[in-house]
Every structure is written in structure tokens, then in C-alpha cells.
Amino acid sequence: MDTYCGLNEKQTEAVLQTEGPVLILAGAGSGKTRVLTHRVAYLIEEKQVEPWNILAITFTNKAAGEMRERVDQIVGPGSGGVWVSTFHSACVRFLRRFIDRLGYEDNFTIYDGDDQKSMIRDICKRLQLDTKVYKERALMAAISAAKDELIGPEAYERINGGDFKKEKIAQVYIEYQAQLKKSNALDFDDLIMKTVELFQSCPDVLEYYQDRFRYLMVDEYQDTNTAQFHLIRLLAEKYRNLCVVGDDDQSIYKFRGANIGNILGFEKVFPDAVVIRLEQNYRSTQNILNSANEVIRNNRGRKSKTLWTENEKGEPVHFRKFLTGFEEAEYIVGNISRKVGNGTCKYSDCAILYRTNAQSRLFEEKLLMGNIPYKLVGGVNFYARKEIKDLLSYLKTVDNARDDLAVSRIINVPKRGIGATTIGRVQTYAAEQGITFYEALKMAEEIPGLGRGAVKVQPFVTFIQTLRSQVGYLSVSQILKEIIEQTGYVSELEAEGTDEAKGRIENIDELISKAAAYDEVTEHPQLSEFLEEVALVAEIDAVDDEQDRVLLMTLHSAKGLEFPQVYLAGMEDGIFPSYMTIMSDDPDELEEERRLCYVGITRAMKDLTLTCAQQRMIRGETQYNKVSRFVREIPRELVELGKDRAKSQAEPSPARSSYDKLKRDLRAKIFQQPEPFKVNTGQPLDYQAGDRVQHRKFGIGTVKEIVGGGKDYEVTVDFEKVGIKKMFAGFAKLKKV
């Protein structure tokens, strides 16, 4: 038992409670990964459970990799039999073995978002749906939401009968699933849904995996959706040794289908469940934790827990208010630069977090101007870049020629003189004959009206067939190099000679390195397995801890990470929480936003700075927002306010010389607002400064100022929900209340 002496009392209890359903409520930074890995070790070493009878599931490849590494360190030889996997990776392994029971071949392709969008676009064209009305992304989201709830296309159509728009979505859903099956492809949601379908329709397969995995552990349980819940329930129902670990206060992925009810209602599904709370935090100072506790306490839909630590009390939370977003960005970047300059921290210790991706621009500009290295998490995924998608489509075609999308993408890349007309005729012939696009290409000479197009298609088919015959004895990197060499893909880019082309060549070199690394560490390299690994890579897995640079990311991307220095920017009502959330009648929306704030606060280890701007340019308009209610929920004694920069920077500094005065006067003229067009109301106002008024969109507010002149009054109102707005009385149509 010496292995477990470093655990605290509650962690030890969680490790030793191995039988039956267990819910571990693990607060932020409470060492849940440590508990899970020690629990695996305890099962193997003390309970004599065979390693292959244990399945540990988490959400990201990075988390799975860390858990795998720790299990190997603690258990040593013999731990290899333990399955440590993401949901999607585990389901791929289930399906590779048994998907033939559902009418698919085991070398199925996994489609990413771009692949899905292309397929949806083609379906809309066939169904003559206007993509301005039925946008591809909206259709994808509707289909994904249905799959998260295990609602198939026919059931979706049945449920939504009578709703014209949803009936159209049902038509797309039906066609989409049919096309996926024809292409022997699955999307990410299918990986879970088809596994549940497999288990429900094939009791022998389910029992095989129930006997195989007698002990189940699920990390980040608060992020599971309905489909994942059913998957876990099916696997656990025979032996019921299910341990789920999560924190309802960190459930922030509702927009991705996460169902917080899974963790809040765990004890209803498993009435005999043992509940263990991990509340000791090993990450942050007590002041940071106190701030997080006070904010999240305002949520009603939660299980009570209070984070505490034996760490130092630490600095108070810093709060800074600025006049504009530009000044906010300037301060944060300057603050980072000063700290690095005086040796307080490294660039990689610092993270700038914000609510929406659009907020990154100002910070990027300031970091570039300051020559400060940074990484924007959530930019264009490496595997989504054109040259990478092209080469992966070649590999997919070699691996699974039934993938119509992959074949269509590279049939004329690089250009082979195969035009849209030829491709269209081949696609029509394939549809008429009920065969795949690639099978139709192989029969090009038999397609009516193809003519000379058939001659141009033949070399492509021969090339692919040759590569397919070599798969058995060439490594993945060798196949990739062969494709690059034979197609002249890189040669064309070299001939282009631009900086962009050089960058694309560097990306291709990186893909070759990835394939070579896979070949090197894999005992039996397989092309389908490599493509599967690539398809399952998440953006956050690309964060490199070794590089010394500031990280910029949204709060959603920051989940699971920690930094000594955290800057939470844009802390204003209307930004965070968002305007839509504030105006929503659903209290659950605001509670999700508050959980997101809690996640942001608890990323900080040593130092946390919250910032906001008095005015901010949004969609080309200046908005005046109140300080975020989440900031106001932190008790004053926990916050260090510093200088009120919004006031001090709004006042012009005295001119030091006649030249300075000339510059200031010129700047004032440049930024002077032109006389606005005003509406002639013809009526005096029935309200005055200090009165309460109602606006049809912004709700109730107090009139702060009325400025007359011209043909209309300019009214400044401080609204309860959206802050200060300036408007013309004739347009605003305010009513006194």
C-alpha cells in the first residue's frame, strides 16, 4: 500500500471504493487523474484484476496519453492490457471488429467537419434546397444534435412531422446517412451512435465487451451526452463496477450536446451509488479559489462543494477597467512583457483567455508589435489545410475507394484535364447504376457521352490501383512519398515559388514526419489505423508545453489546462455573459456561462487578472457595457482594484509643447463625429433625466442624459440588462414606466 501513501483521505477513499457504482465529484485541480491512475494500480496489484478487464475513458487524446503514461509508471510491466482511450477511439476499435454486423466494411472512413459540409452541400443541390435558407452548418448541427440523442433519420422525420423546416432537415438527414453508408464512412457522432446500435442489436457482442471490461472508469463525466451515457450504461449493466469522475461546476459544453443531467442525476440511475467529494485543490492559491467558490455559489443547478487548499493565500485577484478594448490589450501585453523582463515568469506561464474567438485580434496585434511569441489555440487545424486534406484524400482513396468524397476531391488534383462535365457524367452514371464513384471511374469507357474524358480518367485509376496493390508491403510514409512523387504535388508548389507555397511544402514535410513517426512506433503499421489516428486528433492536443510563448484561447479551449499567470479579458455584461444569454428567459443559459467563468478563474495557479473595457467596438458599433456580473459576485476583500484606468486615460494629458498641442488638436478634428441625421419627432418628450423607461429590445433602464438640438433628442439610457446605450428618441420610441 506504499504506492498510495501520498493520497489525501478523500482520494484514498475513492481509490479503495472499487465495487459497484461510484460518483467522484472532483473539483478543479483536485488531482482526479492521480486518483484514476492509482485506482487502476490498486485494482491490478491489490484486487488481482486482470489489466484487460479495465477500461478507462476520457475525452481528449492528450488526457488519454497522460493517463496511459501515469498508469505505466505506477503499475509497470503488465499495464499494457489496460484500455486507456477516448470515447471515439474506443468505439472505433469496437466497430473495426464488428461493424460488418451493421452492413459496413471494417475499413470505413471517418469524416471530419469539412467532409460533412461537402456532402451536405451536394445533397442540398440534389434536393434543390436553397443553402441560403438551409445553411450547411445549421443542417450539420441539427443532424449532430439528433445523433447525440440517438435519434436516427426515420425517427427524426416521424417526430417532426408537420414542421415544414424540420421535415426538410429530415430529408437531408435520410440522404446524408444513405450517402455515408454508400461511401463506407462514418462521422464522429456515428462512432458513438453506431456502437450503441451494435450493442443493442447484437447481444452477443455486448456481452463479449461486458465480460471483457468488468471495471469501467469515465473521466470528465459532466461532458457526456445522451448517446455516451447509454453506451456506458450498456457496458456497465452486467457487473455494475462503474466509476465516473467529473465536476458539474465545469460542465460547459452544452452547445456540443453535453447533458449536465448525466452527472446531476447519476444517483437516480444508480440509487446505490457511493458519492465521494474531492475538494482539496493542489493548483491555485486560496484567494483564487475563494473567488471561484463565491462566483459558482450563485448557481442553483449544482452539487455543493467548496474548494480549499494548503497552498499559500496568495495575491488578491487583480481587476482593471479601461476606456477601450485597445487599452485593455495594451495593458495585458505590457504587463506580460514587464513580468518576463524582470524574471517573474516565462511567456509560457501566461495565458490570455476570452469568451469568443473574435476577441483575439487586438491581443494578436499588440503581441506582434511587442515582438512577443504567442500561439493562438483554435486557429486552422493542421489537418484542415488544403494540401494536407488533398494528400489525406489520396491515402483515404487507397485505403477505402468507396469514399466518394475523397475520390472526388483528388480526381483532378493536381490538374489532369478532367473537367466538371466529365466528373458530373461519372457521378450521374454511378447514381444510376447504384455503384460508387470510383467503381464508375473504373468503367469509364462504358459511360455514354464521356468520349475523350475516359482516356484522361484511365491513368488516375491505374495509379490508385497500383498503390492499392502495394499497401501490404509499403509503410504509410512510403505510400505517402509515392503519392507526392507520382502526382508531382510538391513539384508544382516548388515551381510556384511563393512564400505561401513554401509554407504549404513545410506542412507536407510535417505530414511525412507524422507518417514516419507512426511507422516507427507501431509494431504493425496499417494505413487505415494511421488515418483513424489522424481523424481523432483534437485541436487542444496540439498545444506544445515545451515552447516558450503566450497562449491565446477561448475559455472553452482552456478547459483542463493550468497556468501560473491568467488574464481573463472582456469581463463585461454583453460580452461575458453574452448579450443573448442576458436576454434569454432560460436561467440555465446564465448558469452555463457562470460555470464557464468558474473554469476560467480556476485555470490560474498564482496570479489572476480580470479586465474589462468601458466601451468596445462590436460589429462596427461602439457599445457601452457594465462590468460583468461575475466580477461583481466576487467579494470586494478578494479583489485589488488598482488605478481606475477608464477615468484616467479618458482625460487628455496636458500638452508639453506647442507641437504636442498641434497634434492633439489635429487628432480631435480627425475623430470629431459628423453631425448625424436626425428625425423630426414633432413632439416633446414625456420623460426626463432620472426617469425609468422601457425599450422594446433592451428592456427597462434609467435615463441618464438628454441632449437637445437639431431635429431630435439624443438620449443616454443605462439599461438593467445591457448597460449604457445612446440613441435618438425618434428611433428609440422609449416609454416611461
Q: List, as one string, the DSSP characters of 534-558.
A: HHT--GGGG--TTS--EEEEEHHHH
3-class secondary structure, 377: coil
CA distance 463 to 461: 5
pLDDT at 329: 94
User: If pLDDT is split at 50, 70 and 90, which confidence band does 683 have?
Assistant: low
Marked catalytic residue, from 115, 187, 219, 593: 219
* Contact between residue 30 and residue 279 where contact means Cβ atoms under 8 Å apart: yes
Q: Please give the radius of gyration of the chain, using alpha carbons only, rounded to the nearest integer.
A: 30
* Contact between residue 250 and residue 222 where contact means Cβ atoms under 8 Å apart: yes
Tell me which DSSP letter residue 585 carries.
S
Q: Which residues contact residue 480 at a Cβ distance below 8 angstroms, ignoring those fewer than 6 apart?
A: 391, 395, 511, 512, 515
User: If pLDDT is split at 50, 70 and 90, which confidence band does 664 have?
Assistant: very low
pLDDT at 666: 39
Is pLDDT at 529 greater than 90 in this prediction? no
3-state helix, strand, coil in the chain (%, to 5): 50, 15, 35
Asked which of 128-137, 271-280, 407-416, 535-544 is least confident by mean pLDDT, the reply is 535-544
CB environment 500-532: b (16+ within 10 A), e (fewer): ebeebbebbeebbebbbebeeeeeebebbbbbb
Structure-block grid coordinates of residue 98: 464488428
pLDDT at 122: 92
Marked catalytic residue, from 33, 177, 526, 694: 33
The long-range contacts involving 359-363, CB below 8 angstroms and separated by at least 24 positions, are 359/569, 359/570, 359/575, 360/552, 362/325, 362/326, 362/328, 362/329, 363/329, 363/332, 363/333, 363/552, 363/569
Is pLDDT at 710 greater than 60 in this prediction? no
CA distances from 594 to 307, 555, 586 (A): 16, 12, 14
Structure-block grid coordinates of residue 628: 460583468
For residue 81, list its beta bridge partners: none
3-state SS, 656-716, equals CCHHHHHHHHHHHHHCCCCCCCCCCCCCCCCCCCCCEEEECCCEEEEEEEEECCCCCCEEE
Report the percent of the chain where pLDDT is more than 70: 91
- For the segment 674-681, the average pLDDT, to the nearest whole number, is 39
Would you tell me the crossing angle of helices 136-148 and 113-126 to the nearest 10 degrees?
A: 110
Q: How long, in residues, is the chain?
A: 737
- For the segment 147-161, the average pLDDT, to the nearest whole number, is 94
First-to-last C-alpha distance (Å) of the chain: 70
Answer positive or negative: Cα dihedral of 681, 683, 686, 691: positive
- For the segment 4-15, the average pLDDT, to the nearest whole number, is 89
Encoded amino acid at 292, one letter: A
Q: What angle do CA 50, 54, 56 make, to 5 degrees?
A: 155
Is pLDDT at 504 greater than 80 in this prediction? yes
Marked catalytic residue, from 220, 349, 573, 591: 220
pLDDT at 132: 81
Structure-block grid coordinates of residue 106: 471494417
- From the list 409, 325, 345, the residue with the least C-alpha distance to 645 is 325
3-class secondary structure, 529: helix
pLDDT at 619: 53
Structure-block grid coordinates of residue 175: 440522404
Count each helix (H run) and each strand (E run) in the chain, helices first: 32, 22
> pLDDT tens digits for 294-318?
999 999 999 999 999 999 999 999 9
- For the segment 92-98, the average pLDDT, to the nearest whole number, is 95
User: If pLDDT is split at 50, 70 and 90, which confidence band does 665 have?
Assistant: very low
CA distance 503 to 671: 40
Is pLDDT at 671 greater than 50 in this prediction? no
- From the list 396, 444, 446, 445, the residue with the least C-alpha distance to 423 is 444
Asked which of 337-351, 586-600, 646-660 is least confident by mean pLDDT, the reply is 646-660
Is pLDDT at 73 greater than 80 in this prediction? yes
Report the percent of the chain where pLDDT is more than 90: 55
Quote the pTM value. 0.75
Q: List alpha helices for 342-418, DSSP H.
A: 360-369, 386-399, 404-410
What residue has cell string 513517426?
Answer: 517
- From the list 403, 416, 528, 512, the residue with the least C-alpha distance to 471 is 528
pLDDT at 709: 60
Is 643 buried (19+), middle (13-18) or exposed (0-12) by CB count in 10 A?
Answer: exposed
What residue has cell string 498508469?
Answer: 71
Encoded amino acid at 717, one letter: V
- For the segment 562-581, the average pLDDT, to the nearest whole number, is 93
Q: List alpha helices for 306-419, DSSP H.
A: 325-341, 360-369, 386-399, 404-410
Q: Which residues contact residue 660 at a Cβ distance below 8 angstroms, ignoring those fewer than 6 apart?
A: none
What residue has cell string 440534389?
Answer: 126
What residue has cell string 462590468?
Answer: 627
> pLDDT tens digits for 274-296?
999 999 999 999 999 999 999 99
498 in catalytic set: no
What residue has cell string 415544414?
Answer: 164
> pLDDT tens digits for 457-498?
899 999 999 999 988 888 999 999 999 999 999 888 887 777
Q: Give the CA count within 13 Å in the CB-facing half-sphere of 371.
A: 1
* Contact between residue 514 and residue 477 where contact means Cβ atoms under 8 Å apart: no
Marked catalytic residue, from 62, 147, 603, 645: 603
Marked catalytic residue, from 250, 422, 436, 609: 250
390 in catalytic set: no
pLDDT at 523: 81
CB environment 322-345: b (16+ within 10 A), e (fewer): bbbbebbbbbbbebbbebbeeeeb
3-class secondary structure, 413: coil
250 in catalytic set: yes
Structure-block grid coordinates of residue 630: 461575475
33 in catalytic set: yes
CA distance 141 to 134: 11
3-class secondary structure, 281: coil
Tell me which DSSP letter residue 652 carries.
P
Is pLDDT at 268 greater than 70 in this prediction? yes
DSSP string, 217-266: EESSGGG--HHHHHHHHHHHTTT--EEEEE-GGG---GGGT--THHHHTH
CA distance 621 to 342: 39
